[in-house]
Amino acid sequence: MLHNPYPIYRRFLEQGPIRYVDYGSGMWAVFSHAVCSTSIREPLLSSKRTAALLRDLPAERKTEFAELVRRNQRHRASKVGRIMAA
């Protein structure tokens, strides 16, 4: 764990508000409040859209996305659990 992550955050932000981070299996990271705020309201980036795209794939192509489907299902299950607990 970093005691002071801010120098790293600053370096990432200086390289641009959105960047690919090669950590674990890789991910896109947003380092700007304005971009993050806009992104979370963008329907094209919604996990619901991803589920619809995957549902419409031919069966032979779905195996390529099995891990994404598994993560999407896990995310939805945890979301339902939080709603039920409220």
Q: In this predicted model, which residue has the larger pLDDT, 23 or 7?
A: 7
- What DSSP element (H or E) covers 55? helix 47-55
Count of helices and strands (H, E) across the chain = 5, 2
The 10 Å Cβ neighbour count of residue 62 is 13
**Domain limits, the chain:** 1-42, 46-86
The 10 Å Cβ neighbour count of residue 44 is 6
Model confidence band, residue 1 (pLDDT cutoffs 50, 70, 90)? low
Q: In this predicted model, which residue has the larger pLDDT, 83 or 75?
A: 75
Question: 45-55: per-residue pLDDT in tens?
Answer: 776 776 677 77
Closest CA to 11 of 36, 35, 31, 41: 31
Determine if the pTM surpasses 0.95: no
Give the E-state strand segments of the chain in sequence order. 18-21, 27-30
What the block records as the tokens of 69 is 């489907």
Q: In this predicted model, which residue has the larger pLDDT, 38 or 75?
A: 38
